[in-house]
Amino acid sequence: MKKKVFVVIFVFVSVFYHGNISADNNLKLNSGVKIFEKNIENNSNIVKISLSKRDIKSEIKKRKKYHRNLLEKYNNGFEEKYLNLISENSLILTSLRNELKS
């Protein structure tokens, strides 16, 4: 459950964070798994987010499936709310892919 919360927090922060995310990351080796640690200042509170590459990959898979479903719904009704969700999801997917590359 904690990992899901961290992934959700990471996704929203990475979408709304303006700057080079990869420059702030510190890579550490923890039992053979690279962990991304990032300190985020949020209203004078510091939040530490730790994500493994596997977590990022699984989140990308979920987002791609969600994206396909949104496209199908949009093609059926051409509603603007689906178009907004598609564009938001595209931004999130792009930031996750960039984070995975760094």
- CA–CA separation, 5 vs 10, rounded Å? 8
How many domains does the structure of the chain reveal?
A: 1
CB 48 within 8 A of CB 39: yes
| Residue 17 DSSP code | -
pLDDT in tens, the chain (102 residues): 556 666 666 666 665 554 444 444 444 444 434 444 444 444 445 555 667 888 888 988 999 998 899 889 888 888 888 888 889 989 888 988 888 887
Which domain does 13 fall in, by range?
2-101
